[in-house]
Amino acid sequence: MMKFWKKIRSILKDFLYGMTAADMVQTVKKMEFNINAALMCVVIGDLMGILVFPPIYKYNLLVHWFPYIDVWKRQILREKDFLEKVH
């Protein structure tokens, strides 16, 4: 009987989360990624042919962003649909 109520509670919790906070969390994650992508484009954009920042500063930040470089390059070079460009 307790298993049934735990399952009902879990379903209600997921339902309420989806109704209230899921869209906000998704929007914040998109905004965070866009801000990080713009900052990475300024700092290490020379990998893509965009030279904005002097090289001496990028070497200090490269240590922190090294794990994200491949993800960033894939996202920047990915072909986008019309609706993704608008939003």
Domain ranges of the chain: 27-86
**pTM summary value:** 0.53
For residues 43 and 53, is the Cβ–Cβ distance under 8 A?
A: yes
| The dihedral formed by the CA atoms of 71, 57, 49 and 75, expressed in degrees to the nearest 10 | 20
For residues 11 and 17, is the Cβ–Cβ distance under 8 A?
A: no
Question: Which has more confidence, 57 or 16?
Answer: 16
Question: How many Å apart are CA 68 and CA 65, to the nearest integer?
Answer: 5
Question: Which has more confidence, 85 or 76?
Answer: 76
47: which residues sit within 8 A by CB, 6+ positions away? 69, 73
Mean pLDDT of 31-41: 81
Distance of CA 75 to the CA centre of its chain: 10
Q: What is the pLDDT of residue 72?
A: 76
Q: What is the pLDDT of residue 53?
A: 65
Q: What is the pLDDT of residue 12?
A: 92
Mean pLDDT of 32-50: 75
Question: Which has more confidence, 84 or 43?
Answer: 43
